[in-house]
Structure 1
Amino acid sequence: MSKLNVAVIGCGSISQKRHLPEFHHNSEVEIVGVCDINQSRAEAMQAIYGGEAFTDYKTMLDTLDLDLVSVCLPNALHAPVSMDALNSGAHVLCEKPMATSKEEAEAMIEASERTGKTLMIAHNQRFVRSHQEAKRLIETGAIGKVYSFRTGFGHGGPEGWSVDGKDSWFFRKEDAFIGAMGDLGVHKADLIRYILGEEFTDVSAIVATNAKENITVDDNAVCILKSESGIIGTLTASWAYNVNEDNATIIYGEKGVLRLEDDPSYSLVATYTDGAKVNYELGQIQSNDAGQQYSTGVIDHFVEAVRENKAPLIDGLEGYKSLNIILAALESNETGRLVKLNKGAK
């Protein structure tokens, strides 16, 4: 079976640390193109991974015979570039958040359906083993009825992660559209939907910029969510956790409590009302720590979905539903009101 030809559009940190090395280590694909408006950055990745280097993605789409495309660009470019790639005949893996509006997200889904090409959104937290095990425990009734949760994601900000540091596009509204809520909050919106296995109906939020100077996006947000079955909880996203990254989720149920990525030794701790306690060693969660090497599972899952012609775990509609929570949080903050969510893109 011949390998799938893949190109990566955008050669910043997410490409350098996740997409390119994971495609490189997947025996099913061959990297044939890399693209970045910064020519030296594209050529640096070409020197490591091969293929052709481009500075214009449309030229690359027209020039190469591509099966797969990864879109690793500023948020405002996710939708238009993904749709161009889909329309060129490629299957697309797009970084999160998938779009900057419901209309953009719906257009991406329509392009995927019309072309018959896979659209996957790179929500990597669904592939973390502690998160998968927590979902299984909830589904099997281990903690009984779920009542509440708190989930959060925070670190010191993208200046320590982005290739452009303090000058990163992450801080500019015209490029990023949204700050910590798009960078981190959408991860947790997707994760809590996945773990609980249900949708949210109500969102209330305060979204603020109170930690960093000279930025035009949010850096701190706290949301209150209510699910269709009545589960209530909080979701926080922050670029102001300057000492340690926090990526914890806690689920409170009738028969027990699940603590995910909340203990330094155990990735999942289950404590039950009968006094039992189970500590799970399931490996490290994906983080931005320098030098950490791992496979997120995202790339391998995307390739497998295309190879086997099956829907990926996070298709366009799933990405839309998680984005919708973040958009509702922005609306709630702007209006000072609780926002009711619709059911989906269609």
Structure 2
Amino acid sequence: MSKIRVAVVGCGSISKYRHIPEYAANENVELVAFCDPVVERAQKYADEYGAKAYTNYEDMLSELKPDAVSVCTPNYLHAAVAIAAANAGAHVLVEKPMASTDEEAAAMIEAASKNGVYLMVGHNQRFMPPHVKAKEILQKGELGKVLSFRTSFGHPGPESWSIDGRESWFFRKEEAVMGAMGDLGVHKSDLIRYLLDDEVAQVSAFIDTIDKKGTDVDDNAVVLLRMKSGAIGTLVASWTYYKGEDNGTLIWCQNGLIKIGTHPEDQIIVELRNGTVERYNVGAIATNDKQETSGVINAFITSIVTNTPPSITGEEGRKSLEVILAAFEAQATGKVISL
């Protein structure tokens, strides 16, 4: 069968570390275009993969008509690029948060549906082996009903990760729209929905810029969640964990506790009320310092090849974004927001 012709829009760090190498490693893919306003960045990859470089995604879409597009731009452009790609007949993989507003998310879903293409959101936490295993353990039911949880994602901020360092778009509100919440918080709202197989019913939050100088995007958030099942818990997103990254989740159930990503070797530790402790070494959670294959690219390509809707649809991405938007509303109004 002929290869899937993929274009990457946005040639920053997420492309460099995840999208481009993972597409290159997939035998079903031909990388045909790279697009970035900084032409040298696009050209570097175009030269490497025998593709074309563009500074304008609309020109690229009309000239090349790719089969699939990865949207790796600053947040404020996610919707515009994704909708243009869908309208050009391309399947779309969009980085998280999928959009800046719920209206944009809805428009993206509508564009994909209208054009008969897939829209997938890059929530890579779902593919990390410890999270897959934790969900399996929870679904077995031996731990009983989930009562409460704590899920946290923090690191020192995008300065060391972003291709532009401290000058990155991550710190400019008009381009980023949101800070740690869009970067990290939305990963955790998606993860908790996935792990618990449950939807968020109510949201309350404190969100602020506490320590990052010269930016008006949030660098810290503590969010209270009540799930439809009645379980309550906290979601934390931070860009000021200067001592190092935390991507841990604790889930307290009737019959015990499950710890995910809290131990350097045993990614999952199950502590039962009867004193039994089970330890699982199932493969790592990716960090900025130690990149693991995300699983996202392969899942996206498999969807297209097998003509099967992706597991992380636009609708899924929209629900996870909705939680974050509700948290901002809760911070702004001082109220508990019901979804």
Amino acid at match of 2:317: G
Instruction: Give 5+ residue unaligned stretches, structure 2.
Output: none
Amino acid at match of 1:271: E
2:132 equivalent to 1:132:
yes
Q: Per-residue deviation at 1:143?
A: 0.8
Deviation digits for residues 248-300 of structure 1 (CA, Å, limit 9, x no counterpart): 000000111110001112111111011111111111111110xx343110000
Match of 1:104 in 2: 104
Q: Per-residue deviation at 1:27?
A: 0.2
Match of 2:48 in 1: 48
**Structure 2 matches for 1:298-317, cutoff 5 A?**
298-317=296-315
2:205 equivalent to 1:205:
yes
Which whole-Å CA distance do the structure 2 matches of 1:121 and 1:49 have between them? 25
Answer yes or no: is the 8 Å Cα contact 1:128–1:285 preserved in 2. Answer: yes
Which whole-Å CA distance do the structure 2 matches of 1:48 and 1:153 have between them? 34
Instruction: Give 5+ residue unaligned stretches, structure 1.
Output: 342-346
Answer yes or no: is the 8 Å Cα contact 2:156–2:239 preserved in 1. Answer: yes
**Structure 2 matches for 1:1-346, cutoff 5 A?**
1-289=1-289, 292-341=290-339
> Per the alignment, in what secondary structure is the counterpart of residue 19 of structure 1?
helix
RMSD over aligned CA atoms reads 0.7
Answer yes or no: is the 8 Å Cα contact 2:285–2:292 preserved in 1. Answer: no
Identity in percent = 51
Amino acid at match of 1:155: H
Which whole-Å CA distance do the structure 1 matches of 2:43 and 2:66 have between them? 19
Which whole-Å CA distance do the structure 2 matches of 1:331 and 1:233 have between them? 18
Amino acid at match of 1:44: K
Which whole-Å CA distance do the structure 1 matches of 2:91 and 2:28 have between them? 14
Q: Per-residue deviation at 1:50?
A: 2.5
Aligned residues: 339
Amino acid at match of 1:336: G
State TM-score, norm by structure 2.
Answer: 0.99
Deviation digits for residues 38-86 of structure 1 (CA, Å, limit 9, x no counterpart): 0111111223233111111111001113111000000000001100000
Answer yes or no: is the 8 Å Cα contact 1:20–1:49 preserved in 2. Answer: no
Which whole-Å CA distance do the structure 2 matches of 1:326 and 1:337 have between them? 14
Q: Per-residue deviation at 1:309?
A: 1.4
Which whole-Å CA distance do the structure 2 matches of 1:25 and 1:121 have between them? 20
Amino acid at match of 2:177: F
Deviation digits for residues 171-202 of structure 1 (CA, Å, limit 9, x no counterpart): 01100000000000000000000000010100
